[in-house]
Amino acid sequence: MDKIDLSAPGAVTIRPLTVADRDACVVVENACFTNPDHRATPEKFSYRLTACPELCLGVFVHTADSEALVGSLSSSPATPTSSGVMVGHVIATRCTSDVLTDASMGVPKDWRVSAADPASVSSSMPASPLGHQAEGGTVAVHSLGIVPSVQGRGLGTRLMTAYLERMAALSKSGPKIDRVALICQDYLVDYYKKLGFTSNGPSEAQFGGGGWFDMYYKI
């Protein structure tokens, strides 16, 4: 995809995501992670983009040649939007722990019912320990990736820089955000350190078989 000029004015758009972007997120996820166990499921995307879309950001390529990206991403159809073709995303929720846990990566039972009719949820019922915790001071990044066809061209750094700036702004205008946390494989630890993250050592999270490292960025 070198023929696509990512430096052209308007070629790259970074914007907040909504649940309407769910299918494009699934296509990006499948392209980014060759190990199916490391992918977020379509259900998780639906939940996270419904529960806390303000914590989710996408990067889109929109040039005369960007439609060529569609065929390179997946056998599933990907339809360019007015923003272009999604080539990367950051998907997150809030959690109350300092690092990602298996519970923070979960999805509450019957979340669709409560999302459709919040009044139906009894105030006397304990909140689910799974998934998004609105009062949490940690933003837990669950999905982060740039599709292989445009990797190595600075889009990942561009997206994460914009994301960290957005989280700092949200912290000033709403519930405080203390840190952004994620888990990564060992070969990516140095990459995230260059973006300002600190390693907290091996993670206890067992998502996808474990073997992760905890990383965090103080806001």
- Residue pair 155/6 in contact (Cβ under 8 Å)? The answer is yes
Could you say which residues of the chain have pLDDT below 70? 1-4, 63-83, 114-126
Q: Where in the chain are the domains?
A: 12-107+128-218
Q: What is the pLDDT of residue 122?
A: 44
- The reported pTM is 0.87
- Residue pair 142/107 in contact (Cβ under 8 Å)? The answer is no
**C-alpha 216: how far from chain center:** 15
- List pLDDT tens digits, range 54-65: 999 999 988 665
Domain range 12-107+128-218, its CATH number among 3.40.630.30, 3.20.20.70, 3.10.520.10, 1.20.1440.230: 3.40.630.30
Q: What is the pLDDT of residue 119?
A: 53
Cα 97–Cα 101–Cα 102 angle in degrees, nearest 5 = 145
